[in-house]
Amino acid sequence: MEEDGRECLQCGSLLAGSSDKRFCSDQCRAAAGNKRKFKDEREQLMRSINVMLQKNRHILRQASPQGKITIRRQVLQVSGFGFRHFTHLYRTQGGNNYHFYYGYLLLPEEKVLIFN
Ligand SMILES: [Zn+2]
């Protein structure tokens, strides 16, 4: 048996045989494939969340050029605003949740108050 000094990309064990081999076994090949697929899906999810957050920020900036405004919730909805996608959350002592979208704070009423 001849070893060419290369290692399995998944487990690091030495590879023997044909020089185009990258994994020592079918298990390692499958494990590496799953890992890559999971990583791709995670990155795709992060990208799509970032896109939605940017879109939200854009909509809020357009809606509140003066920095503070009260508008109907529906106006944001029509613009495609995604209420579920916020950057952080503030819980008041009274138990209310305030959602932040980057520098914007939205007070969750029928009419929303936007602070910048
Ligand atoms: Zn291996």
CA of 16 to the centre of ligand 1 (A): 11
The 10s digit of each residue's pLDDT in 72-108 is: 888 899 999 999 999 999 898 988 888 899 888 887 6
CA of 2 to the centre of ligand 1 (A): 17
Helical residues (DSSP H) of 1-116, grouped into ranges: 26-63, 73-78
Q: How many domains does the chain have?
A: 1
First-residue to last-residue Cα distance in the chain:
69
CA of 17 to the centre of ligand 1 (A): 14
pTM of structure: 0.70
Please give the mean pLDDT across all residues of the chain.
87
DSSP code for 13: P
CA of 21 to the centre of ligand 1 (A): 11
The confidence score (pLDDT) of residue 20 equals 82
CA of 4 to the centre of ligand 1 (A): 15
- 100 lies in which domain range? 3-115
